[in-house]
Amino acid sequence: MGPLFSTSSVGKWLGLVTAIWVQAICGNNYTFANYSDALKSLMALTQLQLNNLSVAKDVGKAFGLVSGFASDCLPPSVLLIIGSLEGLIGYGVQWLVVSQRISPLPYWQMCIFLCLGGNSTTWMNTAVLVTCMRNFSKNRGPVSGILKGYLGLSTAIFTDICTALFSSDPSSLLLILAVVPAIVCLTAAFFLHETTPASRPSELQKETQYFHIFNAIAIILAVYLLAFDITGSHGQILSLIFAVGLLFLLASPLGVPLYSILFKPRSNSDIEQPIKEPLLVNQSDKPETTEGVKLENLERKRPLIGEDHTIIEMIQTFDFWILFVSFLCGVGTGMCVINNMGQMGLALGYSDVSIFVSLTSIWGFFGRIASGLISEYYIWKSGTPRPIWNAASQVLMAIGYVIMAFALPGSLYIGSILVGICYGVRLTITVPVASELFGLKYYGLLYNILILNLPLGSFLFSGLLAGYLYDAQATVNADGGNTCIGAHCYCLVFLIMAVTCVLGLALDMLLAVRTRNIYAKIHENKMSIAATSSVEHSSPLK
């Protein structure tokens, strides 16, 4: 079934739909705040110990390098199956502990199972992103925005389903996290394959139209989830209706491949000619006149930014380290908020923090979708470097941390929204930026090297910074755990993270300046494609 679909246009869109579903269940790592308090109580943990459990979860992403290497030699279906099995085991054991079907495991064993659950998503993400970035190589910004947008909604989907059907029961949530991703990944394994990317102007135009449909569906889904969150408690019947409506919205992207089957356009292969220009012209294909520079077969040159890099060549560039550290400043601090949202809410007097988890997720979606569309639009319009949008997100994120530091009324609502938006922007923008600077040939491994920032940031900002500063302010409980109540618990943490975002802003601006010529060339190439499309549409043969 897979190879048959993979050779057709329908197969490409069906593959994207299943990729969307996979991303919609890949946010299980971000739900830790929903059940962290249950783990803390059952295992009598201090905040530092709890934060180190969350770090273990994020360390699982560091082993994503394995999935990056595997993506060069294994098909997406195998990557998805491996990820589904890891998640089933990792979250399944956590469910057994939290539901008290087994006694709490030793601390080190729990770290291993959380790490296993965290690593499961790297296999899923690698399979999806590598395949779709290659299948839609000339629309990297929009496809990244769509996929990362659904990933952003994933936490809200899990949280709201659990709230609607199981009254936010932590053990029920963990059971969902174990079973549902396995089912979705096994389904996607049949349909997600690499296909030939669009090469004709009409194909690129159709891609753009379909992306608009996917974005519209995603926005409706986000608004639907947001409406459920802000309308307070719901009865059993309304909650059931909400769950059915949510499943319908998640299934609705299937309309695109169905439409392409029912209304398959007439072939124009006798009229249109494929566009053979790459996204960036390879500089080695141009004649060289500089003294001492010979043909490539005589002397192997280091690739220029914008060309395919090996991993060794990439880490030898200054631009890679700018991108890496700026990414750490944004996602590292964001991970701290996501992992500690449960305790941050309790410190400010909120007994239920699920609303903040959902707000971070939903507004993270808006950040992902908007940044993908806006960055692509301004590349088409004027060649604006994509990293400039990462810089803008650092400003908003710093403001969000300052607001939360002062703990004014409603500050956690405002802060969670701003952090969600900016975290989503960073994850979405960095994906196409990495491919535009270093190429797609080794993209699976490149992506997972950048994702090392998630466990690294979690360790630095959540495990060390937030854990130590919280415990320094907390009161020890009789069972050996501890609790801190008041704005002072996280004030210094937020201020330090705001300063970190200022550093990230400076790095993003530097990268934008250094890559402006690359994006000018991408702009010229896109204008060339648009001009070709305009000429063909005006042809009398049409």
d(CA 338, CA 31): 8
- Does residue 351 surpass a pLDDT of 70? yes
- Residue spans of the domains in the chain: they are 1-260, 306-530
Residue 182 — very low, low, confident or very high, per pLDDT cuts 50/70/90?
very high
pLDDT of residue 537: 54
Residue 186 — very low, low, confident or very high, per pLDDT cuts 50/70/90?
very high
Q: Which two structure tokens, joined as six digits, stand for 233? A: 């408690």
- Does residue 26 surpass a pLDDT of 70? yes
User: Which architecture characterizes domain 1-260 according to CATH?
Assistant: Up-down Bundle (1.20)
pLDDT of residue 78: 95
* Lowest model confidence (mean pLDDT) among 48-52, 137-141, 427-431, 478-482: 478-482
Q: What are phi and psi of 476, to 5 degrees?
A: -75, 135
The answer to whether the beta carbons of residues 426 and 334 sit under 8 Å apart is yes
State the average pLDDT over residues 461-489. Answer: 83
Residue 493 — very low, low, confident or very high, per pLDDT cuts 50/70/90?
very high
Same fold yes or no, 1-260 and 306-530 = yes
- Does residue 531 surpass a pLDDT of 90? no
pLDDT of residue 120: 93
HEC secondary structure over 353-383? CHHHHHHHHHHHHHHHHHHHHHHHHHHHHHC
What is the tens place of the pLDDT at every residue in 296-336? 443 467 888 888 888 899 999 999 999 999 999 999 999 89
pTM value is 0.75
State the average pLDDT over residues 410-415. Answer: 91
pLDDT of residue 296: 41
State the average pLDDT over residues 161-186. Answer: 91
The answer regarding whether domain 306-530 maps to CATH 1.20.210.10 reads: no
Q: Which two structure tokens, joined as six digits, stand for 30? A: 């971000």
What is the tens place of the pLDDT at every residue in 68-100? 888 888 999 999 999 999 999 999 999 999 999
Q: Which two structure tokens, joined as six digits, stand for 338? A: 């996501």
User: How does the average pLDDT of the chain come out, rounded?
Assistant: 84
Helices (H), 71-106: 76-98
